[in-house]
Structure 1
Amino acid sequence: MGRLNFLLLIAVLGSGLVLVHSAYEARRLFTEIDRAKVEAARLESDSQRLQAERHAQATNLRVEQVAREKLRMKTITPAVIQTAGDHGVAASGAQR
């Protein structure tokens, strides 16, 4: 009878340890899920912010401003247009 009681005591202690470990793992995984949800919400807000910035940067007015300031582009006028025929005449006139 003493051995049976000892084996039952060992079984109860073992199952208690397994239960405590299981509860600890469940809490750890739950907090990890919460952190992942917070991170997902942060990334979603960053994504929306970046899309809004990209949309603001791609407006026609902004593109024209960048073209004028950084690339030093000018609006096309008839005075600055050169056709392919103009190059041929200028080249043949220079050779004579």
Structure 2
Amino acid sequence: MMRLSVLLLIALVASGLYLVRTSYESRRLFVEIERARNDEKQLLADEKRLDAERQAQATHLRVERVAREKLGMRMAGPDITVYVSDARSASSASGALR
């Protein structure tokens, strides 16, 4: 009878230690899941903010202003437009008409 009591006591202590270990592990995993959820929320907020910034940076007026100010570009008009014709294409086109 004494052996059975000792065996049951060892089983009880082992199961108690296993229960404590699994409880600790489940708490640790729960905290890790919550951190991952918070990271996800932060990343989604950053994505929305960056998308809004990208849209603000890509407006037509801003692109035009940057092209004018930083790149020195200007609107093309008939006074600065140069038309170039290829002599070979012109002669082959006129030869085809004959």
> Does the pair score TM above 0.5?
yes
SS at match of 2:79: helix
Length, aligned pairs only: 87
| Structure 1 match to 2:46 | 46
Per-residue deviation, residues 36-57 of structure 1 (Å, max 9, x unmatched): 1110010000000000001101
Letter in 2 for 1:32: E
Letter in 2 for 1:20: V
Letter in 2 for 1:35: R
Ranges in structure 1 where 5+ consecutive residues have no aligned partner: 89-96
CA-atom RMSD, angstroms? 1.3
**Structure-to-structure mapping, 1:17-56, within 5 angstroms:** 17-56=17-56
Q: What displacement does 1:78 show? A: 1.1
Identity score, percent: 53
Name the structure where helix makes up a greater proportion of residues: 1
Q: What displacement does 1:26 show? A: 0.6
Q: What displacement does 1:66 show? A: 1.2
Q: What displacement does 1:77 show? A: 1.2
The question of 1:83 aligning with 2:96 is answered no
Q: What displacement does 1:60 show? A: 0.4
Question: TM-score, normalized by length of structure 1?
Answer: 0.86
